[in-house]
Amino acid sequence: MIDIIQLSFVSIIPLLIVALGGLISERSGVTNIALEGIMLMGAFIGIWTIRIIEGGSLPTQLVFLIGIIIGGIVGAIYSMLHAYASIYMKADQTISATALNLFAPAFAIFTARTIIGGQQVQFRSVFRISEVPLMSKIPLIGDIFFKNAFISFYLGIILLILVWIFLYKTKTGLRLRACGENPHAADSLGINIYKIRFFSVVASGFFAGMGGVIFVATTALEFNATVAGFGFLSFAVLIFGNWKPYRILFAAVFFGLMRTLANSYMNIDFLNNLNIPTEFYQMSPYVVTLIILAFFSKRSQAPKAVGQVYDQGKR
């Protein structure tokens, strides 16, 4: 059972981090369904960075952190395209985001094939921490959270707390939320809607880029120009979490457990004995996502101005 829980963290943390990024963007009023493409772009450059610097004098965990940060920076830069098009050029936010989703895999495949002759970017390092001193000795909790863990697990929890504090305990967070609820009222108070929305989309890209690197580095030993739909699944987590940080955590846990059960059902005697085709388990997380969104989308409390192009000249 502990193994299943620890395996689920591999899915939960990327979902959580990317969904938190989407939360920042959507709370400011900009829909960011480009999370998939931004994840992929961040993962591509971040994993390539890991491939280059691993095996040297740097500690393995530092290599992992550098890859995560580089992925985040690339994600932030890539998201500027969406931010500029949708905020300053007033382009349709869905179309702008879709363009980023389509461009990212094509760019990754073309670049990888041009440089290394194939689309798989491989690396050798395994980033698990065998145990955290002292904390791993705590009964049960130590076995679950502080043994065979990834540093990204602790990063995800820290980011969750920081995002909650930022959105609900700071003036900037209040202004950001005001931009997503009533931008014209916020503008009348002297808040620069364009700058806050631009910052929010870029921050969203940083989170998505980090999530892309974390997903690939903790689930495989190569990047194959895909993040397995985790960007779209993170968007579903955001909606299911009702645009609130703590609910997003629970949604990420739910979807992460579903995906883990789908991939590890053979290790669970009850599920294995049912003799259900493998394809059923593989598609179950996405089917459940559709069902849940169908039931909960009507009850969702999205920011009132999300997806709306803001024009300062119109009141």
pLDDT given at position 270: 64
CA distances, 23 to each of 98, 187, 303, 312 (Å): 18, 21, 10, 24
151-169 and 2-27 are packed helices; what angle lies between their axes, rounded to 10 degrees? 30
308: its two tokens: 């709306």
Q: Which residues pair with 121 in a beta bridge?
A: 223
Each residue of 233-273: pLDDT tens digit? 999 999 989 999 999 999 999 989 888 877 776 666 666 67
Residue 294 in any domain: the answer is yes
Of 131, 112, 145, 141, the closest CA to residue 222 belongs to 112
Residue 133 lies in a domain: yes
Q: 75 to each of 60, 79, 131, 212, how far by Cα in Å? A: 23, 6, 31, 9
The domain that contains 143 carries what CATH number? 1.10.3470
Q: Which residues have a Cβ under 8 Å from the Cβ of 199 and sit 6 or more positions away?
A: 28
Dump strand ranges (E) for the chain: 121-122, 128-131, 147-150, 222-223
User: Does 309 map to a domain?
Assistant: no
Residues with Cβ within 8 Å of residue 252, at least 6 apart in sequence? 12, 13, 15, 16, 19, 237, 241
Q: How high is the pLDDT of residue 275? A: 75
Cα–Cα distances in angstroms (integers) from residue 265 to residues 215, 229, 246, in the given order = 20, 20, 28
| Inside any domain, residue 314 | no
Please state the domain count of the chain: 1
What is the sign of the dihedral through the CA atoms of 135, 139, 145 and 148? positive
- List the domain range (segments joined by +) for residue 158: 2-299
Tokens of 125: 């390092």
- Residue 313 forms part of a structural domain: no
Residue 174 belongs to some domain of the structure: yes
Residues in the chain predicted with pLDDT less than 70, given as ranges, are 1, 265-272, 297-298, 313-315
**Per-residue pLDDT tens digits for 191-209:** 999 999 999 999 999 999 9
CA distance 313 to 204: 27
| Euclidean distance between the first and the last CA atom of the chain, given in angstroms as a whole number | 57
Query: For residue 45, is it within any domain?
Result: yes
User: CB neighbours (10 Å) of residue 310?
Assistant: 19
Residue 70 lies in a domain: yes
User: Which residues contact residue 52 at a Cβ distance below 8 angstroms, ignoring those fewer than 6 apart?
Assistant: none
